[in-house]
Chains A and B, each alone.
Chain A
Amino acid sequence: MDSRVRVITNKKSISEYIAEIWNYNELFWILAKRDIIVKYKQAVLGVGWAAIRPLITTLVMALAFGRLGKLDVGSTIPYMLIVSVGVTIWLFFSQSLTTISTSLVLNSNLITKVYFPRLIIPLSSIFIGLVDVVVSLAVFAGLCLFYQYVPDWKIIFIPLILALTFLASFGVGLIAAVLNVKYRDIGQVISFVVQFGTFLSPVAYLTDTYKTGANGDLLYKIAMLNPVTGCIDAMRWAMLGDFAAFNWNSFIPLVVFVIITFFYSIRFFRKHEDTFVDYI
């Protein structure tokens, strides 16, 4: 007989909280697996879609901004590759943000019926974006082959930058997920953010583009506050050889943003998780 004694009260210490999440690690993996299986089930192309999306997005962006918008950067590195890096980060960020912010509502049948640490649900959302980002990187590798381009050693920083990107989406996404339980308006807001973010973030152009034109400096400063700018800058630095210098202007705000939103969002989540059942 299992002789562990569980105590149910309305007070739980932070160490108990973390230990409990750890106890449920199997559920975490199985929920992650479920999300991935379900996403590509009953589709002829299956995971192939994870490759088609970044590829088409990159092509369209490159066409729209490069050819039609005449936004060529005049570099030895093909414009397609520059866009591809932006698209990889943006798709990962927006995918994670959307999945996390809707995760609680989509799993309401679990939340109202069985107990487990609620944080497992948004945490396990990482994998759905992770699969996509790995495939996106494969697409990037394919483009490199096509353009005969070889990235340098800095690509070892890719996992770190992806982790920062996930954390940037996690903090905001978690707060949105909690609010979404009570106010479904948040789901709408997030879809707007994702829609406009593609153009407001330097996905298909360079960060320096902000500087051009009237009020360029102000615009540049504002753009630095966008955490995705930091992610894309860092990723371009890591993946495109000598093309871009490391941009501390966007990286420091990103790290500050991640630290603040991460801790605040978890506190916010803990404060509200008991009432999910009553509102969902």
Chain B
Amino acid sequence: MTVLSIENISKKYVLNNKGKSNDDLRDTITGWSKKLVNAGRSTDTKQDFWALKNVSFEVKQGDRLGLVGANGAGKSTLLKILSQITEPTTGSIKIRGRMASLLEVGTGFHPELTGRENIFLNGAILGMKKNEIHRHFDAIVDFAGIEKFIDTPVKRYSSGMYVRLGFAIAAHLEPEILVVDEVLAVGDADFQKKSIGKMRDVSSSGRTLLFVSHNLTAVQGLCNTGAYLRAGELIKYGPIDEVITEYVKNVSKFQLEQSWTDPDLAPGNDFVKIKTIRLVPDESHTRPNLDTTTPLRLELEYWNFVENAELNVSIFLYSMTGECVFNIGDEARIYQKGTVKSVCEIPGDFLNDGSYYISVMIVRDRLAPVYFFEDAIAFDILDYREGTEWVGKWPGAIRPKMIQVNSWQTELL
């Protein structure tokens, strides 16, 4: 059964370029009078901005839809339209059942009111009926763990208590469609675990989940279908893996290969010049994207213009934040004029998911850098998990499987 059908939704914003914004009354009035004087030859330039362009898709009951896209792709606008905060310019949306959003945790809490009063206030704002709130009241208080402070104004709550209470109310709303926007990015570990638990409950009870996040790992782990928005347009809608593949292909500054056939144009100097550098996945890898299990092979080929040069290469792997994950080199050897090839195998189940850069340095006589080819390769590694329910970001610069943890029972009680 279709619970959510979105038909040709567009949203237009009009951008006024006046050089001066008309945010106060005086400007508007002077603007009017100017218009009267210059009737016909308006100096204003009005620009239409389409935050969403003809987006259509349907969500079936029990689907877990992940909405992905870069900042400004229209994800938030779509959510705003879905939650009716703003109306679409064209198109229509049909929603079956109640929709609630974890985006609004604690929305409408009044600091002067007590926890008890705020539960009723917030519940009503989220669309709960009074008897429903009564029914869930004890469960909400219990879930939030604020029994002692239920009659204290929430302005005296710690921020943790505040968020817990807000979340507890939203969690007991029992919506048919739950919208979650980036909650994984806020709150402490405990809160994240609770939100993920709630989302799992929602999906396992046959209700529908709409999840928006930049954390592709979490999206991949939770969702079964995906929608990829780019500049207000729906680029891809379908199974989550295909959508993420499409998204990664579009956004990442992938540079898996650089090569030159003419030494005059190639980067380098009088001693060496780069001919080819490429990063290829091992033939055994069949999934479309590089992920944490993929064995990688870095191939470098360069021209050497010096007879009897003693050279070696040094490879630097940097994480996205610029930290050097490792630096390895080969044995220095004597090479003649011509091309030299180096190959470095990076095993699967070694790097963690994330973005990486590779720089290579060619070294002469074991100590003097001849040429440093920086940021030669840029690549993303996606997460891949089996046998774990956990979808949070896996910590660590590397995730080596060759380092094993073994456990056994030592004693029986």
Contact mask A106-142 → B, CB, 8 Å, 1/0? 0001111111100000000000000000000000000
The reply to whether B110 and A34 contact each other, CB–CB distance below 8 Å, is yes
A27 at interface by CB-CB < 8 Å = yes
Which residues of chain A (6-35) have a CB below 8 Å from chain B? 6-10, 26-27, 30-31, 34
- List the B residue with the shortest CB-CB distance to A183: B25
B108 touches A7 (CB 8 A): no
> CB of A37 within 8 A of chain B?
yes
A37 to B118, CA, bound (A): 12
3 closest A-B pairs by CB: A115-B84, A8-B93, A185-B25
Interface of B is mostly: mixed
Contacts of B89 in A (CB 8 A): 10
In the complex the two chains form, is A109's CB within 8 Å of B124's CB?
no
A-B contact pairs, 17 of them (CB 8 A): A2-B96, A3-B97, A8-B92, A8-B94, A27-B125, A34-B117, A34-B121, A38-B112, A38-B113, A112-B85, A113-B108, A114-B104, A183-B25, A185-B25, A274-B87, A277-B86, A278-B86
Known: A30-B120, A183-B28. A114 touches B96 (CB 8 A): no
Instruction: Report if B107 contacts A (CB, 8 A).
Output: yes
A212 at the interface (CB under 8 A from B): no
Q: Quote the shortest CB–CB distance from B3 to chain A (angstroms).
A: 9
CB <8 Å contact, B88 and A8:
yes
Report yes or no: A2 in contact with B97, Cβ–Cβ below 8 A: yes
Which among B91, B103, B108 has the greatest number of chain A C-beta atoms within 10 A? B108
The count of residues in chain A whose C-beta lies closer than 8 Å to any C-beta of chain B is 35
- CB-CB < 8 A to B97: which residues of A? 1-4
* Chain B residues closer than 8 Å to A112, beta-carbon distance: 85
Residue-by-residue, is B29-45 near A (CB-CB < 8 Å gives 1, otherwise 0)? 00000000000000000
Closest CB-CB distance, A115 to chain B, in whole Å? 3
Residues on A with C-beta less than 8 A from B250 are none
- Nearest-Cβ distance from residue A6 to partner chain B, whole angstroms: 5
With the chains together, A30 CA to B28 CA distance in Å? 37
Do B129 and A113 touch across chains, with their CB atoms under 8 A apart?
no
A residues less than 8 Å from B110 (CB atoms): 34, 38
Give the size of the chain B interface in residues (CB under 8 angstroms): 44
> B125 to A114, Cβ gap below 8 A?
yes
Known: A26-B129, A38-B113. A8 touches B108 (CB 8 A): no
B90 interfacial contact with A, CB 8 Å: yes
Cβ A113 vs Cβ B85 within 8 A: yes
Does A41 interact with chain B (Cβ within 8 Å)? yes
Q: Which of A4, A110, A111 sits near B96, CB closer than 8 Å?
A: A4
- Chain B residues with Cβ below 8 Å from A148 are none
**Is A68 positioned at the interface, with any CB of B under 8 Å from its CB?**
no
- Look across to chain B and name the residue whose beta carbon is closest to the beta carbon of A117: B84
CB within 8 A of A114: which of B26, B108, B153, B176? B108
- Name A274's closest neighbour in chain B (CB-CB): B87
In the bound complex, do residue A30 and residue B124 qualify as a contact, i.e. CB atoms below 8 Å apart?
Answer: yes
Shortest CB distance B353–A (Å): 33
> What would 7 more interface pairs be, CB under 8 Å, given A2-B97, A10-B89, A114-B83?
A8-B81, A8-B93, A115-B85, A185-B24, A274-B86, A274-B87, A278-B13
Is there a chain A Cβ closer than 8 Å to B126's Cβ?
A: yes
Do A277 and B85 have beta carbons less than 8 Å apart? Answer: yes
Q: Are B93 and A114 in contact (CB under 8 A)?
A: no
User: What are the interface flags for B178-219 relative to A under an 8 Å C-beta threshold, 1 for contact and 0 otherwise?
Assistant: 000000000000000000000000000000000000000000
Is the beta-carbon distance between B107 and A109 smaller than 8 angstroms?
yes
Least CB distance from A268 to B in Å reads 16
- For residue B98, CB closer than 8 A to chain A, the reply is yes
Chain B residues with CB under 8 A of A4: 96-97
A112 vs B84: C-alpha distance in the bound complex, in angstroms? 10
Smallest beta-carbon distance B293→chain A, Å: 40
State how many angstroms separate the Cβ of B323 from the closest Cβ of chain A: 38
Residue numbers in A under 8 Å from B93 (CB-CB): 7-9
A75 on interface, CB distance cutoff 8 Å? no
In the complex, the answer to whether B92 meets A37 with C-beta atoms within 8 Å is no
CB distance from A78 to the nearest CB of B (A): 40
CB contact list, A179-209 vs B, under 8 A: 182-186
**Alpha-carbon distance A37/B112, docked complex (angstroms):** 9
Which residue of B is nearest A188, CB measured? B25
Alpha-carbon distance between A253 and B83 when the two chains are bound, in angstroms: 43
Query: A113 touching B95 by the CB < 8 A rule?
Result: no
Q: Which residue of A lies closest to B83 (CB)?
A: A115
Report chain B residues within 8 Å CB of A7. Answer: 92-95
Q: Is B80 an interface residue (CB 8 A)?
A: yes
B150 to chain A, nearest CB (A): 16
- B305 to nearest A CB, angstroms? 63
CB-CB under 8 A from B113, the residues of chain A are: 34, 37-38, 41
With a cutoff of 8 Å between Cβ atoms, the chain B residues found around residue A113 in the complex are: 85, 103-104, 107-108
B232 to chain A: closest CB distance in Å?
16
Question: Which residue from chain B places its CB closest to the CB of A42 in the assembled complex?
Answer: B112
* A5 at the binding interface (Cβ < 8 Å): yes
B337 within 8 Å of A by Cβ?
no
Q: Is B366 an interface residue (CB 8 A)?
A: no
